[in-house]
Amino acid sequence: MSALIKVHITLALFAAVASSAAAQDEHQHHAHHSDEKTESERAHVPPDPPQHQMGDMSEAEMAEMMDMDDTALFGMVAFDQLEWRDTNEGNALAWDGRAWLGNDYDKAWFKAEGERFDGDYEGSAELLWDHVFSRWWSWQAGVAHDFGAGPSRTWAAFGVQGLAPYWFEIEALAYVGEEGRTSARFSAEYEMFLTQRLILQPKLEFKLYGKDDPANRIGAGFSDAELGLRLRYEIRREFAPYVGVVWSRKFGETADLVREHGDEVEEAQWVAGVRVWF
């Protein structure tokens, strides 16, 4: 211990001498010959070696001790749409929600969308694994379940989700079901900032089917498309009421099946709702 103190005193003396010398020639140091130490070289004192070294520990122990974990899980629940729809036959409640839990690379996703009309529910729910594979894209794979007035269908789902150039948010998934059924769904949405809080969001969705499913009034081919335009006001980023208009249309054999039942193949609806997330 006393040796340590001596070292300190010696260093202090040395530093004091260095410092006073430095004060004298601080205006000349540029001119000095290169083998003379700079003022900073004389003044700088490296730290003593540590008396206690931290040993190695596992990544988990380290994260706990540092209270810093860049692999931590985060989660989110969001309803992009939770809305009342003014349909030709009456009012309907519609939703498009998602929830995820995971880290920077892998997330579990749950997506649900559908409509409640006249006491009946129709829609889909998907449980997907999401893995980031490029700067802007992740693949998703899992199961999907469609339900409604007709028989329910269960699918294996696989596809991509991400951000295309110009900030189009894209979802494109393919589905394979029982009895050789196949389907594909695509959606693209965009956000246009009218002000910092008033945001116009166009969204385009369409579906294709590989096989007729008359019980669900679906024909093979390009079956239906929906174009929505919603104007929201973000009271907070997490809470934004909106109004909008949604135009939807059935195509091809699906349209024929719908017509056979005397329903409309094309419809424009007013919508009003709220976008929430937490």
Partner 1 sequence: MPQLSRRSFLQAAGAGLFVLGTHRGNDAWGQRQDQTVLSGSHFELQIGEAPFNFTGNQRIGTVVNGQIPGPLLRWREGDSVTLRVSNRLGARSSIHWHGMIVPADMDGVPGLSFAGIPSGGEYLYRFKVNQSGTYWYHAHSRFQEQTGLYGPIVIERRGGERFPTERDYVVMLSDWTDLDPERIFSVLKKHSDYYNFGRRTAGNFFADVRKNGLSQTLAERRMWGQMRMNPTDILDVSGYAYTYLMNGVTPSGNWTGLFSRGEKVRLRFINGSSMSFFDVRIPGLKLTVVAADGVDVEPVSVDEFRIGAAETYDVIVEPKDDRAYTIFARAMDRSGYARGTLAPSAGLEAEIPPLDPRPLLTMSDMGHGGHGASGAGQMDHSQMDHSHMDHSQMSHAPADPHAGHASPGPSATVDHPPTERTPLMDMRVDQPNVGLDDPGVGLRNNGRRVLTYADLRTIGGPIDRRQPGREIQLHLTGHMERFVWSFNGQKFSEAQPLKFQLGERLRITLVNDSMMTHPIHLHGMWSEVEDASGNFQVRKHTVNVHPAQKLSYAVTADALGRWAYHCHLLYHMEAGMFREVHVEPGEGVAHHEAHGDHS
Q: Quick one: residue 8, left, alpha or beta (phi over 0 = left, psi -120 to 50 = alpha)?
A: alpha
Q: For residues 119 and 166, what is the distance between their CA atoms, to the nearest angstrom?
A: 40
**DSSP single-letter state for residue 236:** B
Q: Is 48 in the site for partner 1 (CB under 8 A)?
A: yes
Question: In this structure, what token pair is assigned to residue 206?
Answer: 């369409």
Cβ of residue 133: shortest distance to partner 1, in angstroms?
6
User: Three-class SS of residue 73?
Assistant: coil
Q: Is 31 in the site for partner 1 (CB under 8 A)?
A: no
Interface residue with partner 1 among 2, 28, 33, 46 (CB under 8 A) is: 46
Interface residue with partner 1 among 6, 10, 44, 215 (CB under 8 A) is: 44
Q: Is 141 in the site for partner 1 (CB under 8 A)?
A: no
CB 202 within 8 A of CB 227: yes
Any residues with CB less than 8 A from the CB of 256 and at least 6 apart, and which?
A: 219
Among 7-15, 141-149, 176-184, 203-211, which window interacts with partner 1 (CB under 8 A)?
Answer: 7-15
Interface residue with partner 1 among 6, 10, 29, 141 (CB under 8 A) is: 29
Site string for partner 1, 181-200 (x = CB under 8 A): -----------xxxxxx---
Cβ of residue 192: shortest distance to partner 1, in angstroms?
6
Q: Quick one: residue 181, left, alpha or beta (phi over 0 = left, psi -120 to 50 = alpha)?
A: beta
Residues 67-106 that bind partner 1 (CB under 8 A): 67-71, 74, 76, 104-105
The residue to which tokens 């003044």 are assigned: 43
Q: Is 247 in the site for partner 1 (CB under 8 A)?
A: no
The residue to which tokens 């070289």 are assigned: 41
CB 173 within 8 A of CB 208: no
Q: Is 235 in the site for partner 1 (CB under 8 A)?
A: no
Among 49-57, 108-116, 121-129, 240-248, which window interacts with partner 1 (CB under 8 A)?
Answer: 49-57
Q: For residues 130 and 138, what is the distance between their CA atoms, to the nearest angstrom?
A: 6
Interface residue with partner 1 among 65, 141, 215, 272 (CB under 8 A) is: 65
Any residues with CB less than 8 A from the CB of 45 and at least 6 apart, and which?
A: 11, 15
| Nearest to partner 1 of 166, 261 (CB atom) | 166
The residue count for the chain: 278
Size of the site for partner 1 (CB under 8 A): 63
Would you tell me which residues interact with partner 1 (CB under 8 A)? Answer: 8, 11-12, 15-16, 19-20, 22-23, 26, 29, 34-35, 37-41, 43-54, 57, 59, 62-63, 65-71, 74, 76, 104-105, 132-137, 163, 165-167, 192-197, 237, 277
